[in-house]
A and B are shown apart, each in its own frame.
Chain A
Amino acid sequence: SQTIHQWPATLVQPVGSPLSLECTVEGTSNPNLYWYRQAAGRGLQLLFYSVGIGQISSEVPQNLSASRPQDRQFILSSKKLLLSDSGFYLCAWSVQDRVFGYTFGSGTRLTVV
C-alpha cells in the first residue's frame, strides 16, 4: 500500500536560518506531489506542486522554494526564514488523475522565532 512520510513533525527555527522539510512517498510511482501551508483560520494554501522529477510549479511568490530530486521525494526549502513563514506545512500526493483525491502527510509544525 502507499504511504507518505513527512518530517520533522515539529521545528522551531530562528529568523534568518535555513529550512529543509522532506516528504517521501512509498508504494507508487510518478505521483503528483504538493506542498500546502495551513495558517489558523485561513484554510490550506497551495505553495508548490510537481508532476515529475525536476518539474516544480509555484503558486505564490514567497520566501520558499521546492525541489523534487527523485520521483518520490519532495523537499521544501528556504535560505532565510521569516516570521511569516510560521505555520503548519503539509505534503500530499495524488495519482495522475484528480478523481482519487490527495493523500496527506502528517504535517510539520514550523515556528519561526
Chain B
Amino acid sequence: AQSVTQPDIHITVSEGASLELRCNYSYGATPYLFWYVQSPGQGLQLLLKYFSGDTLVQGIKGFEAEFKRSQSSFNLRKPSVHWSDAAEYFCAVGTTSGTYKYIFGTGTRLKVLA
C-alpha cells in the first residue's frame, strides 16, 4: 500500500535561512508526488507536483522539490525563507488505482523566526 512519511513534525528556521522539508514515500511504481501548503484555518494550496521528466521541480512562492527514486524521497526546499512561509506543509502521493486518491503525510509545521 502507498504511504507517505514526513519525519519532522515541527521545524523552526530563521528568516533568510534555507529550508528543507523531508518527505519519504512508499509506492511500487513511479509515483505522482505533490507538496501542499496550509495557512492556519485555511484550505490547502498546491505548491508543486511531480509526475515525470525532470526530477527537480519548480513551484510557486520560490519553492522547489527534488524527486530521488533511489531514496524514495521528494524533499521540499527553499533557498531563503520569508516570514510569510510560516505554515503547515503536506506531502502527498497519488495512487494509480484509477480512483485518483491521494495519500497525505501528517504534515510539517514551519515556524519562522524574525
**When the two chains form their complex, are residues B43 and A107 in contact, meaning their CB atoms are under 8 A apart?**
yes
Instruction: Find residues 80-96 in chain B having any chain A CB closer than 8 Å to their own CB.
Output: 90, 94-96
Interface flag for A66 (CB, 8 Å)? no
**When the two chains form their complex, are residues B101 and A49 in contact, meaning their CB atoms are under 8 A apart?**
yes
The residues of A with any CB-CB pair to B shorter than 8 Å are: 6, 32, 34, 36, 41-44, 46, 49, 51, 57, 59, 90, 92, 94, 96-107, 109
**When the two chains form their complex, are residues B90 and A41 in contact, meaning their CB atoms are under 8 A apart?**
no
**When the two chains form their complex, are residues A101 and B90 in contact, meaning their CB atoms are under 8 A apart?**
no
**When the two chains form their complex, are residues A106 and B49 in contact, meaning their CB atoms are under 8 A apart?**
no
Q: Which of B13-21, B65-73, B104-112 is found at the contact surface with chain A?
A: B104-112
**When the two chains form their complex, are residues B106 and A41 in contact, meaning their CB atoms are under 8 A apart?**
yes
Total B residues in contact with A, Cβ cutoff 8 Å:
24
Please tell me which one of the listed residues A51, A59, A101, A109 contacts residue B49 in the complex, with CB atoms under 8 A apart: A101
A46 to B94, CA, bound (A): 13
**Nearest neighbor of A10 in chain B, beta-carbon distance:** B41
A102 to B107, CA, bound (A): 16
B63 contact set on A, CB distance < 8 A = none
**When the two chains form their complex, are residues B44 and A90 in contact, meaning their CB atoms are under 8 A apart?**
yes
Given A43-B107, A99-B32 in contact, is the A104-B101 Cβ separation under 8 Å?
no
**When the two chains form their complex, are residues B105 and A109 in contact, meaning their CB atoms are under 8 A apart?**
no
